[in-house]
Amino acid sequence: MQLALPPLDIPVYGAVSLGGVTTGLSLFAWDFTRWWNSHKKRFSPKALVALAPQFLCLAYGALLILCAGGIIGASADWSLWGTNQVGDVVLVYGFGGTTPTVTRASHLALTPGGHAAVIIITVVVIAVCSKRGFRWDLVRQILAGISLGLASSIAGFIGFAVAPTVSWAGDYVTGLL
């Protein structure tokens, strides 16, 4: 007797599947759980400062997936495809579930000033990583942000909240307002 597995749907380019959201939330949960277990006084200023880079990288990843194109946008799309595939394979073949597309209906877009702000943020991230060395915890949160940035649920709130703010700030600083 053969086990019949459902076919694995290929996700649409630039869309997030349930598997991608699951992967993003899992990456976030990994680092958040490690932070939670390593801090006895979780809401002290010192503990919250230790958590801040995780949230900043999560927000940065959500901004990357909203980039229109180019090398950075293509890298983010490729990363989204990878997280979708990993999550889809685990959900379909590991648990026998399905993976519908959960991309939000209204697509956010960064303004030209927002793209300029993402470039500046990218330079800052590279500068921090080159000074302190390669950190997997930051990479995991950037991938989590890429996976969650287009989601239509509360998981995608980070992209919905950060994109207009960064676009406004970028437009204001570059003089486009």
Number of domains comprising the chain: 1
pLDDT of res. 43: 81
Backbone angles phi, psi at 6, to 5 degrees: -65, 150
Query: Whole domain around residue 167: which residue ranges?
Result: 18-172
DSSP state of 156: G
Asked if the structure places residue 72 within a domain, the reply is: yes
Kindly state the tokens that stand for 147: 């996976």
pLDDT of res. 26: 93
Are 169 and 118 in contact by the 8 Å Cβ rule? The answer is no
Where does the chain have alpha helices with state H?
Answer: 18-38, 45-65, 70-89, 95, 112-132, 136-148, 157-174
| CA dihedral over 9, 156, 165, 61, signed as positive or negative | negative
Asked if the structure places residue 166 within a domain, the reply is: yes
Mean pLDDT in each 10-residue stretch from start to end of the chain (177 residues)? 53 73 92 87 84 89 83 86 91 86 75 87 86 81 89 76 86 78
Furthest-apart CA pair in the chain: how many Å? Answer: 68
Angle at 12 between CA 122 and CA 160, to 5 degrees: 45
Residue closest to 47 by CA, chosen among 34, 30, 61, 28: 34
Asked if the structure places residue 168 within a domain, the reply is: yes
pLDDT of res. 30: 93
Asked if the structure places residue 13 within a domain, the reply is: no
Kindly state the tokens that stand for 52: 């801040």
Q: How far is CA 31 from the centre of its chain?
A: 14
pLDDT of res. 11: 42
Q: What pTM was estimated for this model as a whole?
A: 0.82
Asked if the structure places residue 3 within a domain, the reply is: no
Asked if the structure places residue 163 within a domain, the reply is: yes
Asked if the structure places residue 177 within a domain, the reply is: no
Asked if the structure places residue 1 within a domain, the reply is: no
